[in-house]
Amino acid sequence: MDRNEKALVKFGLHLAELRRQKDMTVQELASKSQLDTRQINRIEAGQVNLLFSTILALSRGLGVPPEELLETL
The answer to whether residues 61 and 29 touch, using CB atoms and an 8 Å cutoff, is yes
pTM of the model: 0.93
Burial of 52 (0-12, 13-18, 19+ CB in 10 A): exposed
Nearest to 53 by CA among 38, 71, 26, 34: 34
Domains and their CATH numbers in the chain: 3-70 (1.10.260.40)
User: pLDDT tens digits for the chain (73 residues)?
Assistant: 789 999 999 999 999 999 999 999 999 999 999 999 999 999 999 999 999 999 999 999 999 999 999 988 7
Q: How far apart are the first and last CA of the chain?
A: 16
Which pLDDT belongs to residue 73? Answer: 76
